[in-house]
């Protein structure tokens, strides 16, 4: 009798408390994505504002670049780089592990895929992220290190930027990268607000508005600079 009762006893049900409280859980990794996303959103806003100083002229932009490199006696820029690099590592880890978890949960793909709730931005996150990572590496080599910019001159960000965007292929690549950034930001802001607790039908229209407005401001601000240089407005 005891063996029969043991054989039909219900399986142990996990409460999920431990899973939800761990950084390696699905909730924990989404929280990592949200927090690191906040860091990146702040960075792109600041970087966009710095780029737009190109319209104030060479003196203003070069002075801004000098301020960044001398802030906190030169340690400020390295602190910012360390925070960004750490955030990037955590962001990539969380995104990759979540993707692998989703794929392992359904190893056999659907025969017919219908996108009822997802958006194009959400469906392109898996390729826009790696593409942006490649762009960031090139962008650093172009305007920070100067390896891929034949006209690079240390300490002159205005002249380096103008020299870079006078090359048609660089300008086209930059605009394509900003398009990928638009898709990534659009879904990123939406998901970040959801992970931070703003997930309710009452707030969804505001989440959508915030995602669209933020994405439009950032991407238009970034694209204006290379287009203005290429068109000869900034020279």
Question: 13-22, 133-142, 143-152, 160-169: which has the minimum mean pLDDT?
Answer: 13-22
Residue 37 is predicted with a pLDDT of 87
Could you tell me the two tokens for 18? 């431990």
Which of residues 57 and 7 earns the better pLDDT score? 57
Confidence of residue 3 (pLDDT cuts 50, 70, 90): very low
Give the three-class secondary structure for 233: coil
Higher pLDDT, 120 or 231: 231
Q: Count Cβ atoms below 10 Å from residue 11 Cβ, excluding itself.
A: 5
Residue 197 has what pLDDT? Answer: 67
Domain boundaries, the chain: 28-102+120-230
- Does the pLDDT at position 9 exceed 70? no
pLDDT at residue number 116:
43
Whether pLDDT at 222 is above 50: yes
Distance CA 31, CA 95 (A): 11
CA distance 224 to 175: 9
147 pLDDT exceeds 80? yes
CB 25 within 8 A of CB 97: no
SS3 string, 187-209, reads HHHHHHHHHCCCCCCCCHHHHHH
Residues 75, 37: Cα–Cα separation, whole Å: 24
Average pLDDT over residues 72-100: 91
**Average pLDDT of 202-218?**
85
Widest CA span in the chain: 90
| Per-residue model confidence as pLDDT tens digits over 13-34 | 443 334 445 777 888 888 888 8
Structure tokens, 123? 């469906």
Q: Which fold has domain 28-102+120-230?
A: 3 helical TM bundles of succinate and fumarate reductases (1.20.1300)
Tokens of 187: 């879904």
| Residues in Cβ contact with 93 at an 8 Å cutoff, skipping those fewer than 6 apart | 32
Give the model's pLDDT for residue 77. Answer: 92
Residue range 172-197, pLDDT digits in tens: 999 999 999 988 888 878 777 776 66
Give the SS3 label for residue 69: helix
Give the pLDDT of residue 10: 45
């Amino acid at each position: 009798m005891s063996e029969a009762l043991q054989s039909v006893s219900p399986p142990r049900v996990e409460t999920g408390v431990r899973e939800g409280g761990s950084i390696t859980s699905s909730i924990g990794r989404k929280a990592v994505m949200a927090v690191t996303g906040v860091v990146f959103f702040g960075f792109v806003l600041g970087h966009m504002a710095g780029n737009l100083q190109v319209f104030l002229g060479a003196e203003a932009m070069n002075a801004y670049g000098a301020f960044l490199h001398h802030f906190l006696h030169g340690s400020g820029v390295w602190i910012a780089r360390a925070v960004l690099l750490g955030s990037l590592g955590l962001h990539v880890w969380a995104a990759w592990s979540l993707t692998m978890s989703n794929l392992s949960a359904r190893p056999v793909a659907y025969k017919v895929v219908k996108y009822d709730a997802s958006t194009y931005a959400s469906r392109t996150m898996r390729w826009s992220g790696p593409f942006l990572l490649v762009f960031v590496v090139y962008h650093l080599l172009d305007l920070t290190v100067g390896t891929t910019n034949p006209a690079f001159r240390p300490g002159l960000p205005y002249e380096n930027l103008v020299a870079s965007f006078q090359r048609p292929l660089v300008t086209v690549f930059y605009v394509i990268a900003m398009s990928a950034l638009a898709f990534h930001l659009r879904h990123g802001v939406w998901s970040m607000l959801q992970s931070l607790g703003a997930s309710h039908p009452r707030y969804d229209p505001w989440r959508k508005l915030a995602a669209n407005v933020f994405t439009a401001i950032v991407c238009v601000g970034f694209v204006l600079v290379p287009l203005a240089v290429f068109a000869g407005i900034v020279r």
